[in-house]
Structure 1
Amino acid sequence: MKKELYKIISPKLRKCQNQSIESIFEYLDNPTEGKSCLTSLPTGGGKTGVIASVCLLSDKQKILVLSHRSPVRDQLIKELGGDFFKKILNDELNFDYLPSYKLDSEWKNEGIYVSTFQKLGTLDPETLNNLIESIDLLFIDEGHAEPAKEWSKIARSFTCPKVIITATPYRNDLFQFNINTDYGFIYTFKEALEDEILSPPVFENISKEKLIKKIKQLLNEQPNTKCIIKCNTGNDVEEYRQMMSEHFKTAAFHDRYNGQDKIPDTSNKVPKSLSKSDYQVIIHQKKLDEGVDIPQAKILVLTYPVSSGRELVQTIGRVVRLFNRCTSYVLDMSNESNQKVWGNYREFDRYLSNISNWKKFLKSLNTA
């Protein structure tokens, strides 16, 4: 670790980020071939800052960061390339950031390469093998996605140190990454609430008939906030868009909106400046679950039972970030199904908050 540089950025980081960084470097200083380091931070806990800091502070020349979706990849390229440090340091200090690149067909320069598993899957065996031999450090930013078996196989083929960062440490596929049980760090949702860096969501069951009135009430009570509505299908997105646009400044995002139908405030791509927009209600199907930060979003509407616990945790993570001391609300139309799944997550999260339980959990990932 570049200790003098760490002294500069460390005071600007959260305690959990510093603990994560120190744990990762403990792993890097004690390499075990073929084994990975597991770091767990809840959505909104600052995992991008951890990745950026480790990349900057390490002596690794070529670092690869893998994500599962292109919007996350594009956001990571910006943040890891300097945007994160510009935000936390307010340009007070000037030092060289590591350059970050979108992984294409070459990786000759030193720096951070960011890609998706899908991209690696398109490389021919010779090119992929060359990449594997060139990379000094691999980050796998799992988010909440369930990787395909071939993706996990690719990740395991890297012989360099590997750091797995996840918001959902109960994933079954963690076995596939051969976790080093001697090193690792977890920062739970419970701890994030105690440290007041995240806001606990307030669940309320609601019917479609009462939804507009409730959203109006909450937006009035908490000015300058936004509401996100998560839908199950494209038809649902359009139905809620028509319903909400009569009462709120509304945007809708889905692949069905290709611009040809000329429906205002719709798109198949989420704009990067969405947090700065004047939209009050934002409707989508799996377009805002990850890779998009909208601090003003303090209301989440779940219009259906979300089948994946990982997806639900990531989705609720959109509204638990702090903003003007506002309360986070989840308006649930699933007849308490989503609330029960969230409750299961919180129960396991509280279990992992005990250090002895966390160590037991790490040992349970020992493939031997």
Structure 2
Amino acid sequence: MEVIDFLDNRILEAIRPYQLEALDNINRYLDSDSNKQALIKMPMGTGKTVIISIASAFFPHINNCLVVTSSSAVKEQLLYDIKMGVWENLCVPFCPIKPVVELLPSDADVINSNQYPTIYVCTVQALLRIKQDDYSNYTLLKDKVDLVMFDEGHKEPAQQWQATIRELEAKVVLFSATPVRNDLNKFSIDNQFVYTYSYIDAVNQGYVNDVNFSIIDTSTISNTQRIGEFVSYINNALDSYVNQFDCERDEVKVIIRCNTDEEIKLLVNELNNRGLHAKGVHENFGTANEQLLQNVPSDIRSDGTVCWVHQYKLVEGIDNYKFYILGIYQALPDPRSFVQQVGRVIRKKT
């Protein structure tokens, strides 16, 4: 049975052609006897969550589905999107009839209490905790789940995470904009069920933003002037963007990447002194300062902050179409991280 045979026509009319192709790839994989994993490779901002939501909610051969990610912030986004966000964006007048349930180690009994088809959403860390501390519920989940979908699936080969996912013995679909790791040989991908939609195609078809790079000449800037000059450049870039695209300033947000928590503090202070509402995110920060956070807030989509300054916390897993400008104060450690970081600013408003 093909995807077009069982999806509502209103969904089929609302999704993009490549999303239908990806759904067809998953459908063929589920109908196969493959004991390996499927892989969906799509750039940031092209609607992986749409595919996850439709497959988990409306594929007739899936009763219970587990959606996994490595980030708490992304987990919160997935919960909202699968319940409501995707369907509102697609302008279809319905949501999944399956309950969408957050799976937590502290409330793993929800696995036993749900006796009807369910979409479970959790971090892979939470799933690992359940396996280690509450194996009976992990075993029950194993008996229930027909399909696991792993957002940011390039992280799946991490040893403990790999075992936790694969021991569920369910079909697994990995989603990633960055599927390459040094331990690529640890993936268990069935090459028959790999779907790729390229960044170039997405740009050419108008689904994501193209990227323009501008390099700051620092040869004449002293170390004491670097922070101030960089903030001036960010401020000018904001003004230029607003003028070029005739938008309101609060519609444009900025990500700034630093190397240390001290650099983050200095930049956040300077940005706020210039009237650019800024917050920094780093694991070394405490809870006393509202402008310096330990973790990315779950409400980052609605937060009015203009400039978000970080070291690694905003490299991947954050989707907000208002991020249009990326400032790299200090270089990222490797090309993969650089590509992931640039990916934060290519999303278009749907």
Does the Cα contact within 8 Å between 1:228 and 1:281 map onto a contact in 2? yes
Q: Normalization by structure 1: what TM-score?
A: 0.79
Q: Return the letter of the residue paired with 1:300.
A: L
Paired residues for 1:168-247 under 5 Å: 168-206=178-216, 207=218, 208=226, 210-223=229-242, 224=249, 225-247=252-274
Q: Return the letter of the residue paired with 1:113.
A: Y
Q: Return the letter of the residue paired with 1:133.
A: D
Percent sequence identity over matched residues?
Answer: 26
Does the Cα contact within 8 Å between 1:67 and 1:115 map onto a contact in 2? yes
Give distance in 2, aligned partners of 1:172 and 1:155.
20
Does the Cα contact within 8 Å between 1:144 and 1:168 map onto a contact in 2? yes
Compared with structure 1, are the counterparts of its residues 168 and 271 closer, same or farther at alpha carbon in structure 2 (3 Å cutoff)?
A: closer
Q: Return the letter of the residue paired with 2:56.
A: C
Shift of 1:143: 5.5
Does the Cα contact within 8 Å between 1:139 and 1:164 map onto a contact in 2? yes
Does the Cα contact within 8 Å between 1:24 and 1:163 map onto a contact in 2? yes
- Quick check: 1:284 aligned with 2:291? no
Shift of 1:154: 2.1
Consecutive unaligned residues in structure 1, runs of 5 or more: 325-368
Compared with structure 1, are the counterparts of its residues 120 and 308 closer, same or farther at alpha carbon in structure 2 (3 Å cutoff)?
A: farther
Q: Normalization by structure 2: what TM-score?
A: 0.83
Shift of 1:264: 4.9
Shift of 1:83: 2.2
> Is 277-286 or 152-161 further displaced after alignment?
277-286
Does the Cα contact within 8 Å between 1:62 and 1:111 map onto a contact in 2? yes
Q: Return the letter of the residue paired with 2:94.
A: N
Give distance in 1, aligned partners of 2:155 and 2:258.
18
Cα deviation, 1:285-327, whole Å, max 9, x if unaligned, reads: 3332334333222111112221243332221111112369xxx
- Quick check: 1:250 aligned with 2:278? yes
Give distance in 1, aligned partners of 2:97 and 2:85.
9
Aligned residues: 319
Q: Return the letter of the residue paired with 2:272.
A: S
**Residue of structure 1 in register with 2:122 after alignment:** 115
**Residue of structure 1 in register with 2:56 after alignment:** 55
Consecutive unaligned residues in structure 2, runs of 5 or more: 219-225, 243-248
> Is 303-312 or 184-193 further displaced after alignment?
303-312
Compared with structure 1, are the counterparts of its residues 317 and 169 closer, same or farther at alpha carbon in structure 2 (3 Å cutoff)?
A: same
Does the Cα contact within 8 Å between 2:41 and 2:196 map onto a contact in 1? yes
- Quick check: 1:148 aligned with 2:148? no
- Quick check: 1:129 aligned with 2:157? no
Give distance in 1, aligned partners of 2:207 and 2:151.
21
Give distance in 1, aligned partners of 2:206 and 2:272.
34
Give distance in 1, aligned partners of 2:166 and 2:187.
6
Cα deviation, 1:13-64, whole Å, max 9, x if unaligned, reads: 12221111111111112232x2111110111111111100111221211111
Give distance in 2, aligned partners of 1:159 and 1:220.
53
Q: 1:75 aligns with which of 57, 68, 77?
A: 77
Root mean square deviation of aligned Cα: 2.4
Q: 2:33 aligns with which of 31, 34, 37?
A: 31
